[in-house]
Amino acid sequence: MCALKGYFDESGDDSDPQHSALSIAGYLGPAERWPGFDEEWRRVLREFDAPYLHMKELQNRRGAFKSWGKGNPEGDAKAASFFGALAGVISRAKLEAFGAVIVLSELKRFNAETGADIDAKGLGIYACALGARQRHRTGAMEFVLDRMEQGRTKVELARCYAETDVHYPFMRDCPDFTVLPKDDPNGSQNTPALQAADGLAWELRKNYELKRPWFETEDASPDSPGWGNSLLKWFIDDRLDHMRRKKIPSMSFGLDITRGSMSVLSDAAPADGIIWTYRTLARAHETRNGIWAPASVEQKSA
């Protein structure tokens, strides 16, 4: 049995022009801890008479959560309590969160300029593995990925990105990957750990989309002077603009510019991750000497 086991899911679709970003995210923990996590997660589901957690359904009050009534104070309160109780399960299990958000338009631009042909899902899987290996340099590690289109192909691309990363040579010890087939009954609706991964992937993507206008500015990077002040100023201006458009005379808001549900998950297990913009891709490209794929037989013999 592997020492560490993680469950990961995706949110967003790189083939859908309506999606600005794609995310891969999930949780890692000692293999022996997951059965207890599953039991407690299912207890919360029973308590709220919910069959599973699926963030798209919960946020939009569709499917299993239709009767909870979006915009209804009682329904909204029940949804918040439900989500908070599940976050408590994550916290008590002491799981580690890893994730990556890929800005699709910037990846497309980067690929066009460099010819790197980096795959969004493969990059996301690799980034999660990198975060996990940076924290746990040795030991057996397995990632279970929910049913994913061309999942095995995406995993192989992630392995290529790992094998060719000269900046992080420890990534040659890449985690083992298990990709659930499309017809596997043990998908997210039946697997608590994958439901948790779905929640984190959804929130990371939505949190990016909330701040997307700021990320498209020149200051959207921790290495830009004054980036924190820039983000805060954008947030305040955005809220004031919202008040003007909606003709709201006054409103109160804190300085937490993260989505409320994302803050709940962050309190349970802070996510270690990266947002892949053009700038972060360019930095990675430079540290890798522009190499993202192993040399072919012809190149090796040249």
Residue 263 lies in a domain: no
Identify the top-confidence range among 12-16, 70-74, 165-169.
Answer: 165-169
pLDDT for 257 beyond 60: no
Identify whether residues 106 and 89 lie together within a single domain.
yes
- The chain-wide mean pLDDT, for the chain, equals 86
pLDDT in tens, 31-76: 999 999 999 999 999 999 999 999 999 999 999 999 998 888 899 9
pLDDT for 177 beyond 50: yes
Structural domain total, the chain: 2
Identify whether residues 291 and 232 lie together within a single domain.
no
Say which CATH number the domain at 114 has: 3.30.420.10
Q: Which residues pair with 29 in a beta bridge?
A: 5
What integer is the mean pLDDT of 208-221? 71
Identify whether residues 105 and 222 lie together within a single domain.
no
Residue 228 lies in a domain: yes
Cα–Cα distance between 68 and 72 in angstroms, integer?
Answer: 8
Residue 99 lies in a domain: yes
Identify whether residues 45 and 191 lie together within a single domain.
yes
What integer is the mean pLDDT of 146-162? 91
Identify whether residues 90 and 234 lie together within a single domain.
no
pLDDT band (50, 70, 90) for residue 227:
low
- Read off the pTM: 0.86
pLDDT for 86 beyond 70: yes
In terms of pLDDT, which residue wins out, 231 or 195?
195
pLDDT in tens, 68-84: 988 888 999 999 999 99
Cα–Cα distance between 80 and 293 in angstroms, integer?
Answer: 44
Identify the top-confidence range among 21-30, 206-215, 226-235.
Answer: 21-30
Identify whether residues 186 and 284 lie together within a single domain.
yes
Identify whether residues 202 and 233 lie together within a single domain.
no
Identify whether residues 82 and 228 lie together within a single domain.
no
Report percent pLDDT > 70 for the chain.
83
Domain containing residue 56: 4-206+271-297
Q: Which residue do the tokens 């469950």 mark? A: 7
Residue 10 lies in a domain: yes
Residue 159's nearest CA partner among 136, 193, 125 is: 125
Residue 129 lies in a domain: yes
Identify whether residues 92 and 221 lie together within a single domain.
no
Residue 184 lies in a domain: yes
Identify the top-confidence range among 185-199, 223-237, 288-302.
Answer: 185-199
Residue 40 lies in a domain: yes
Residue 136 lies in a domain: yes
